[in-house]
Amino acid sequence: MNGVTENTWSLYVDGSCLGNQNVDAETPAAWAVVIVVGDNGLGRGSGELHEEFAGHVITDELQDDYIGAQIGSNNTAELSGFAAALRWLLIEGGDEPAIIRADSQYAGNLACGAWKAKANRELVAHVQSLWDTASELRPLSWEHVRAH
């Protein structure tokens, strides 16, 4: 996406897992999304905080919020955060341009379809579907940022 305007949504996404070793469906993992409008991406506090929200990775197929994560891990947390950011864009983001900023190249490149999933395929397919729909409505890109 070329240039950031004062109306561009910047959605900062992060995910984490306690320990992130020997992970399974019971391993706690969580994600967070911070939405800023008018952020230039330079990390100097430009833009205005619009909204922030967080949640846990859902691995129970019987729960309403299940989106395909079979384990709790850093990767499923990052992907779940991308899904939450994309859902927000679809429900509340209008048609303004958007940049999702994340420290996970894994999640960003899978979300936009640049990489092919070798694991977490159901979750990745869900995130890619959200990306495809959101990108039909607005200019959409993702940007790798240093760990935050």
> In the prediction, which pLDDT does 2 show?
44
Residue in the structure block whose two tokens are 């309403």: 64
CATH 3.30.420.10 fits domain 9-144 = yes
Note whether 51 and 44 are within 8 A (CB).
no
Q: pLDDT of the chain along its 148 residues, tens only?
A: 445 677 899 999 999 998 889 999 999 999 999 999 988 767 666 789 999 999 999 999 999 999 999 999 999 999 999 999 999 999 999 999 999 999 999 999 999 999 999 999 999 999 999 999 999 999 999 999 987 5
> In the prediction, which pLDDT does 18 show?
87
* Residue 99 CB partners (closer than 8 Å, separation 6+): 1, 4, 8, 9, 10, 11, 41, 140, 141, 142, 143
> In the prediction, which pLDDT does 46 show?
79
Domain residue limits, the chain: 9-144
Residue in the structure block whose two tokens are 């379809």: 113
